[in-house]
Amino acid sequence: MKIEANNVRVSYGSEQVLKGITMSIKKNTVTAFIGPSGCGKSTFLRCFNRMNDLIETCKVEGEIMIDESDIYHPKVNINELRKSVGMVFQKPNPFPKSIFENVAYGLRINGVTNKKYIEEKVEWAIKQAALWDEVKDKLKKSAFALSGGQQQRLCIARALAVEPSILLMDEPASALDPISTTKIEELIYNLKASYTIIIVTHNMQQATRTSDKTAFFYMGDLIEYDDTRTLFTNPKKQKTQNYITGRFG
Amino acid sequence: MNLLENELGDLKTELMEMTSMVKEQMEKTIKAFNTFDHQLAEEVVSNEKRVNGYELNIDSKCEHILALFSPVAIDLRFVLASIKMVSDLERIGDNAEGISSYIARFEKPFDKELLERLRFKEMTEAVLEMLDILVDSFEADNTKLVRTVFAKDDFLDEINFSANQVLAEYFRTCDDPEKITQAIYLLTMIRKFERTGDYITNIAEEIIFYVKAKVLKHKKNKA
């Protein structure tokens, strides 16, 4: 297993938002987290790169193993962890820099200075993000000149440049038009060969199109976790059925 | 109730109406046969276009739901089942029309003794019972009830099989060309009743599929 979460409990102050989540995620798969707003899916996603550590009141208990190492062990280097667990957010958030520098950024802050290596890595990452043909002639232009869909793929390229093995995506296509969404989904499909991907989405069709496994969360509990095909054709739990068929509440 | 639930509710209502109409067509056919009522048989033939109309409407509704609502889970299973059920219902309607058109064609009533040997009454009663079960179980999504049609279908198969031997014997001894023609038509009718049983069985399987997510198609022990 690439990732193993055991009895993960998260609280913000006195409010418990995850109530003991246990699940395993295989290498080179796409896992979708679905559930209504406030169910804890994004909080759980942020546990895998310890983004929750940045929230003062947040307390994470339980165990998360990546490649059989406990990522909450006191000796873990958080920068190294975040290098191997990349993240892409809902809104594309390029830096106010050129297209090239956006992707080179991660390498530079990790101390890479070899110009040729950086150039090769930037080209590789942009190609991985299926953006190269669209930007190869304007790498020095501002990232803000790109469309929303291109900016999102640029952010994916930026995450890939430091060669993570896991990619976390928090609603990566929710702010994009249908064509850009399709490109991101195709990208997710193709990236699966090299990365383990977890995607939080409110878009059921996106979950069905892109993921191998789907986990349904509700009020801090993991209600059902199964092959996407099974979960969307024959869910075992009534709550899951009510949610995916739109009969919730 | 959300928009999809409304659409699915309308689809079920229309399928229920079609099932009831097909059942009525078969009831009239059997009554026309038993009473040798040409007028009733012709009414069945003329009503067939209404059955076809239901099929077109339901096909279109299913296409609309799939395209606009992307249903999943039980909703998706129901739409998929509906597409298959409507086709089987239409074929039952075709069989009722086919049998009625034979009834309308004959001027003399059928040979009662031969009908008895062919177990025609038992067969038609079983078909009507199966249709009754279908209507009730579909309305209530009752999979326990709908499973009872499988044994009745086996019963129809057995009558259909035994008809071959009865008619082979009949043809050997009968020298009246008109009676032989009638017997050939009776055999065709028996085949149509037997096929009707198969279609009802298919629909029962679809009801079990959408309610329980179980696939019984091509399985031997369904009951």
Catalogue all structural domains in chain A, each as residue range(s) with its CATH number: 3-244 (3.40.50.300)
Cross-chain Cβ contact A233/B72 below 8 Å: yes
Taking residues A164-190, report their average pLDDT: 90
Cross-chain Cβ contact B74/A241 below 8 Å: yes
pLDDT over 80 (residue B1): no
Q: Give the DSSP letter of residue A98.
A: B
Cross-chain Cβ contact A233/B213 below 8 Å: yes
Whether residue B219 is contained in a domain is answered as no
Taking residues A75-89, report their average pLDDT: 93
The more confidently predicted of residues B205 and A110 is B205
Contacts of A204 in chain B (CB under 8 A): 70, 72
Whether residue B22 is contained in a domain is answered as yes
Q: Which amino acid is at B5?
A: E
Cross-chain Cβ contact B72/A244 below 8 Å: yes
High-pLDDT (> 70) share of chain B, %: 99
pLDDT in tens, A50-67: 999 889 999 999 999 999
Cross-chain Cβ contact B75/A245 below 8 Å: yes
8 Å CB contact between B81 and B138: no
| CATH code for the domain in which residue B69 is found | 1.20.58.220
pLDDT of residue A176: 82
Whether residue B222 is contained in a domain is answered as no
User: Average pLDDT over chain B, rounded to whole?
Assistant: 94
Taking residues A60-84, report their average pLDDT: 95
Chain A, 178-197: which have a CB under 8 Å from a chain B CB?
none
Residue among A205, A233, A246 minimizing CB distance to B76? A233
Contacts of A227 in chain B (CB under 8 A): none
pLDDT of residue B82: 98
pLDDT of residue A127: 93
Q: Specify the pairing of strand A30-34 against strand A58-66.
A: unpaired
pLDDT of residue A247: 83
pLDDT in tens, B67-76: 999 999 999 9
Q: Does A209 touch chain B (CB under 8 A)?
A: no
Model ipTM value = 0.71
pLDDT in tens, B128-145: 999 999 999 999 999 999
Q: For chain B, what percentages of helix, strand and coil (3-state, to nearest 5) are there?
A: 85, 0, 15
Chain B, 77-96: which have a CB under 8 Å from a chain A CB?
77
pLDDT over 90 (residue A174): no
| Cα A239 → chain centroid | 25
Chain B, 184-223: which have a CB under 8 Å from a chain A CB?
213
Q: Which chain A residue is nearest to residue B209, measuring alpha carbons?
A: A234
Q: Which chain B residue is nearest to residue A237, measuring alpha carbons?
A: B73
Q: Which amino acid is at B118?
A: L
8 Å CB contact between B90 and B50: no
The more confidently predicted of residues B209 and A206 is B209
Cross-chain Cβ contact B72/A208 below 8 Å: yes
Q: Output the CA–CA distances (angstroms, integers) from residue B103 to A17, B21, B45, B166, in the order listed.
A: 72, 20, 11, 21
Q: Return the beta strands (E) in A144-195 as ranges.
A: 166-170
Taking residues A124-134, report their average pLDDT: 93
8 Å CB contact between B120 and B30: no
Distance from CA of B216 to the nearest CA of A (A): 16
pLDDT of residue B223: 65
Among B24-33, B107-116, B117-126, which is the least confidently predicted range? B107-116
The domain tally of chain B equals 1
pLDDT band at A147 (very low <50, low <70, confident <90, very high): very high
Distance from CA of A174 to the nearest CA of B (A): 18
Q: How many Å is the Cα radius of gyration of chain B?
A: 19
Range of the domain at B142: 3-212
Q: Does A241 touch chain B (CB under 8 A)?
A: yes
Q: Does B71 touch chain A (CB under 8 A)?
A: yes
Q: Does B66 touch chain A (CB under 8 A)?
A: no
- The residue of B6, B7, B72 whose CB has the most chain A CBs within 10 angstroms, and thus the best one to mutate to test that interface, is B72
- The residue of A224, A231, A234, A237 whose CB has the most chain B CBs within 10 angstroms, and thus the best one to mutate to test that interface, is A234
Chain B, 5-44: which have a CB under 8 Å from a chain A CB?
5
pLDDT band at A249 (very low <50, low <70, confident <90, very high): low
8 Å CB contact between B155 and B175: no
pLDDT of residue A178: 87
Cross-chain Cβ contact B72/A247 below 8 Å: no
Whether residue B223 is contained in a domain is answered as no
Q: Which residue has the tokens 């987290």?
A: A33
pLDDT band at A41 (very low <50, low <70, confident <90, very high): very high
pLDDT of residue A231: 95
Whether residue B147 is contained in a domain is answered as yes
